[in-house]
Amino acid sequence: MNGKSLTAHFRSDNIPTWPCPECGANSLTNRDDGFQKQYKVPVDHHHPAFDPDWIEYVFTLNLKCTIPECGCGVMCVGTGEVSQEYLDDGSSDWEWFDNFEVKYFQPPLQIFTPPKETPFGVKEALTTSFSNYFSSPSTSLSTLRAALEVLLGEMEVASVDEKGNFLSLAKRIGSLPENYRKIIEPANAIRWLGNDGTHSGYQIRKSDVVDGYKIFEHILEELYPEKKASIDALVARINEDKGVKR
């Protein structure tokens, strides 16, 4: 996962390349004339008191995956404003620039690609988290915590005790069997991040969400190690053939 590809801010002459929702490659590019902006509210440039600070934009961005085998289409919407910035050309001048900020992608970006064996319900829960990354980092972390709950359910970790009372996420994590002990600390880190995302008063940054995604991706790779599975299959084949295939 490349955190730099998740930038929300850009200028129309320097649109980032984002990861594709379908194939996961950093391959989304702007279609011809795909960027369209308009004023959020009408602006009278001839007003005696007009100031560029008055300008607010809304925009749409029509994107497409450049991988021929994929070609996924994506729509992006967001907002924009005008800011005065110093020109880095030695002139010591200032200029006004349009700056834009992403709010939503549809379909949501696949911020990291879960292993193939990841249960469908977990992938769906992650998509919900991904969909909130740009608009509400706190919601993104809260729903990442929910994805952990779904994962534990897929692992058949009990959600209620013998009396039918719901178990807290901390207790569910603590009850993981011995062969899953290696994911306890990472799971607890997701729990703490998710708690901060859920409760008001915490200033959640996108970098906090990226930290959560890196940890969750690690958990999934521990549980569903694709490389290990491919090696196991290779070992089984060679042992069955008693050497090279004849």
Range of the domain at 59: 1-110
User: In this structure, are 101 and 136 located in the same domain?
Assistant: no
> Same structural domain for residues 76 and 131?
no
Q: Are 81 and 182 members of one domain? A: no
Distance CA 167, CA 196 (A): 19
The region that residue 7 occupies, defined by phi over 0 for left and psi between -120 and 50 for alpha, beta otherwise, is beta
Residues 6+ apart with CB under 8 A from 214: 1, 112
pTM as predicted: 0.84
167 and 65, same structural domain? Answer: no
Taking the CA atoms of 118, 123, 126 and 127 in sequence, report the sign of the dihedral they define. Answer: positive
SS3 call for 52:
helix
Local confidence band at 65 (pLDDT 50, 70, 90 cut-offs): very high
> pLDDT class for 238, splitting at 50, 70, 90?
confident
Quote the number of domains for the chain: 2
Over residues 217-230, the mean pLDDT reads 86
Residue 104 contacts residue 134 (beta carbons within 8 Å): yes
Query: Is the pLDDT score of 201 beyond 60?
Result: no
- pLDDT at position 220, please? 97
The H or E element that residue 106 is part of is strand 94-106
Q: Both 49 and 87 in a single domain?
A: yes
Q: Could you say which of 66, 92, 110 is where a domain stops?
A: 110
Of all residues in the chain, what percent carry a pLDDT higher than 90? 67
Per-residue pLDDT reduced to its tens digit, 162-189: 888 999 999 999 999 989 999 999 999 9
CA-CA distance, 158 to 160, in Å (whole number)?
Answer: 6
- Residue ending a domain, choose from 92, 110, 128: 110
Domain of 188: which CATH number?
1.20.120
- Confidence (pLDDT) at 200: 63
